[in-house]
Homo-oligomer: A and B are copies of this chain.
Amino acid sequence: MEPQRRPGGRSARVREAVLDATAAELAEHGYLDLNMEAVAQRAGVHKTTVYRRWRGPAGLVADALERAVEQPWPIPDTGTLRGDLRALTALLHSGFDDPESAPLATAFVIAGMHDPQAATALREFYQARHRDAAVIIDRAIARGELEPTVNRTEIIRTAVAPVFHRLFITHEPVTTEDLRRAADAATALAHLSLEV
């Protein structure tokens, strides 16, 4: 057992400080200008500590995403599948639209395009998010709204993919109507599996 690795120990406190600093630097400067020494300075730790443990910017991003997976997020629970999926697309969009959260959220997506380690971390992050969000589908199944055989992840993807498509591929504006349409399309497809 390594005492410095126990939760709440010095190593855990260093990690928290460095990942907080990483998030702040990513939000301010973006992934491509993420500077290891600026992260160390902001975290109040020696730069060799940061280099030794995280290696480089992609290592910091990967660990920041791993920590983000562990943090709770407000999965919608409105009482209907349609309501939950509408709330989900609105929540997703606000993460990329709110001036507080958008710079960091966008920096993570950009990191995934430029580094394979960050891409792997993003894949694991989104897999976890989709698993979390699938409780929306589980509740709809429990209410008898959906068949238990529906493809839970693909219903979530149908709701969120058009939002990401507008934000990061086509650079089209995202309106409230767009968010609702994507959620309603996912709802309609989920319900279809009752009939086919």
A193: nearest chain-B partner, CB-CB = B188
Q: Are the CB atoms of A123 and B189 closer together than 8 Å?
A: no
Main secondary structure of the interface of A (DSSP, over half): helix
A188: nearest chain-B partner, CB-CB = B192
A14 within 8 A of B: no
A52 within 8 A of B: no
> Could you say which of B165, B188, B189 contacts A161, with CB atoms under 8 Å apart?
B165
Contact surface of A with B, Cβ cutoff 8 Å? 32, 109-110, 112-114, 119-120, 122-123, 126-127, 154, 157-158, 160-162, 164-165, 168-172, 181, 185, 188-189, 192, 196
Q: Are the CB atoms of B110 and A169 closer together than 8 Å?
A: no
> Could you say which of B109, B112, B122, B164 contacts A164, with CB atoms under 8 Å apart?
B164
Closest CB-CB distance, A116 to chain B, in whole Å? Answer: 9
A109-B113, A123-B171 given; name 20 further pairs at CB < 8 Å: A109-B169, A110-B113, A112-B168, A112-B171, A113-B168, A122-B169, A123-B172, A126-B169, A126-B172, A127-B172, A154-B181, A154-B185, A157-B162, A157-B165, A158-B185, A161-B161, A165-B165, A168-B168, A185-B189, A188-B192
- Closest 10 pairs between A and B when the two form their complex, measured CB to CB: A161-B165, A161-B161, A119-B171, A126-B170, A123-B171, A161-B162, A164-B169, A164-B165, A157-B162, A185-B189
A172 CB contacts on chain B under 8 angstroms: 123, 126-127
A139 to B188, CA, bound (A): 24
